[in-house]
Amino acid sequence: MTNFAELGLCPPLLQAVDALGFTQTTPIQAGALPAMLAGHDVRAQAKTGSGKTAAFGLALLAGLDASQTRLNALVLCPTRELADQVSKDLRALARFIPNVKILSLCGGISLRPQLASLSHTPHIAVGTPGRILDLIRRQALDLSALSTLVLDEADRMLDMGFLDAVETILKRAPKQRRTWLFSATYPAEISALSTQFQNQPQKIMVDSQHDAEVITQQFFRVERSTKPAAVMALLVSRQPASCLIFCNTKIDARQLTASLREHGVAAMALHGDLDQRDREDTLMQFANGSCRVLVATDVAARGLDIKALPMVIAYELPNDPDVHIHRIGRTGRAGGTGLALTLVAQQEMGRLVGIEAQADAAIQWSELPVWTRGTTLPAPTMQTLVIDAGRKDKLRPGDILGALTGAAGLDAKQIGKIDVFATRAYVAIDRRMLKKALQGLRGGKIKGRKFRLRTL
């Protein structure tokens, strides 16, 4: 572990690191930051929650000249949610550097506001491959001065069919640049991408296995037909504040969600059939505590950034043991502990071989708790209020908090997470106070203006 002060970072970055409460580097930061700061290409492999965004973010900002109005760095992400999170993290790191412009450019939203934003060139652009390529082809995004290109979660971009778009962007970027590649796994296509587009990259790998003192893994033998009841048994016995359940297919995700709802669990599903608005609403409700149980496919869950997730359940085993590692790595983050529970039917037993080989240990089976029908999880304490206004309207979290504690008369303790995006804001409110919050906001104003409100 390395102290950030030993890395030679400029005072504004050290000030940001201190304000964020970072004291020592994580293994991926300790391994990758010196190489990136020295100007090398990097090919890094690390499990989720390893601190990779801060690693490449600090390196990008350390070499940034904010007085030059040009696109200095481009970060490609597989999903809009991850891109928004990366943008938010980069802004937090850049908060003490004057005049740094960081722009999020993603598909699923109107192109026109993004074209307007690009009339003032950003220093750093973060976006999804499809929208970035579209903007390049429209000559709205100029890569001619680009000095660094980052591929974040490259394996998920492959899973989501973005490989061709990524290759085209890499070909259009200047040859004299730094290319930093971050991926949880390295399938053949991503390794080939590295070989073709990186210049003698420094290879950084941290332990892919999860610390048993941080994440407790348990495996349960069950019949496939009894898996929904097994999930109920685990939820009712453990009573997690929140739980992410992974399914291999969207059909299973839909069916399991329906089964849980029948038994009184306010579960939500996240899969590829959701449109962008429904996906964002679902993610926000889970992230802010308005939904306790989220059932998701692996690809759909990419970009979901929940720091305190106490429990994950693998409804079935994936074919790839690396995917299993990625799943359980969703819990036990940000200094907390986690519980990873896996249901295994007889026909899935063969998939355990790869998991045992990676762990270099045999699977230890646990006994499934007994579930009494009629028992369920309590409803979440929070509910989500959506304000149809955001950063474009100069709206900040403090403005919303002030309106709710002022005109609406709520106590600050009754207000949870506030997330402000370009055109919308999500607010978690104690569900017992939701009606009062709506009445207060509709009768008053936020920052002197009235905005459309809805609840989820």
Pairing mode, if any, of strands 267-270 and 293-297? parallel
Distance CA 420, CA 391 (A): 7
Alpha-carbon distance values, 250 to 159, 177, 295, 299, 432 (Å) = 15, 40, 9, 10, 33
Give the sign of the dihedral formed by CA 208, CA 209, CA 213, CA 214: positive
- Give 421's contacts (C-beta < 8 A, 6+ positions apart): 84, 390, 391
Residue 387 pairs in a beta bridge with: 425, 453
Residue 272 confidence (pLDDT): 77
pLDDT value of residue 100: 94
Three-state SS string over the chain comes to CCEHHHHCCCHHHHHHHHHCCCCECCHHHHHHHHHHHCCCCEEEECCCCCCHHHHHHHHHHHCCCCCCCCCCEEEECCCHHHHHHHHHHHHHHCCCCCCCCEEEECCCCCHHHHHHHCCCCCCEEEECHHHHHHHHHCCCCCCCCCCEEEECCHHHHHHCCCHHHHHHHHHHCCCCCEEEEEECCCCHHHHHHHHHHCCCCEEEECCCCCCCCCEEEEEEECCHHHHHHHHHHHHHHHCCCCEEEEECCHHHHHHHHHHHHHCCCCEEEECCCCCHHHHHHHHHHHHCCCCCEEEEECCCCCCCCCCCCCEEEECCCCCCHHHHHHHHCCCCCCCCCEEEEEEECHHHHHHHHHHHHHHCCCCCECCCCCCCCCCCCCCCCEEEEEECCCHHHCCCHHHHHHHHHCCCCCCHHHEEEEEECCCCEEEEEEHHHHHHHHHHHHHCCECCECCCEEEC
User: Strand 215-221 and strand 382-387: pairing?
Assistant: unpaired
Quote the pTM value: 0.67
Q: List, in order, residues 6 or more apart from 278 with CB less than 8 Å away.
A: none
Which residues is 150 bridged to in the sheet?
75, 180
CA 145 to each of CA 13, 16, 20, 172, 407: distance values in angstroms, whole numbers, following the listed order: 23, 27, 31, 12, 49
CB 267 within 8 A of CB 361: no
For position 362, what pLDDT does the model report?
Answer: 76
pLDDT (tens digit, 0 to 9) for every residue of the chain, 456 residues total? 478 888 889 999 999 999 988 878 888 898 999 999 999 999 998 766 678 899 999 999 998 988 888 999 999 998 888 898 899 999 999 999 999 999 999 987 888 889 999 999 999 999 999 999 999 999 999 999 999 999 998 888 887 889 999 999 999 999 999 999 998 878 889 999 999 999 999 999 875 555 555 778 899 999 999 999 999 999 999 999 899 999 988 899 999 999 999 999 999 998 878 887 888 889 889 988 999 999 998 776 665 666 678 899 999 988 888 778 778 777 766 556 788 899 999 998 888 888 877 776 778 899 999 999 989 999 999 999 999 988 888 888 989 998 898 878 898 899 999 988 888 899 999 999 999 999 888 888 888 888 999 998
CA angle 239, 241, 247 (to 5 degrees): 80
pLDDT at 124: 97
Q: Tell me the C-alpha distance between 428 and 11, whole Å.
A: 35
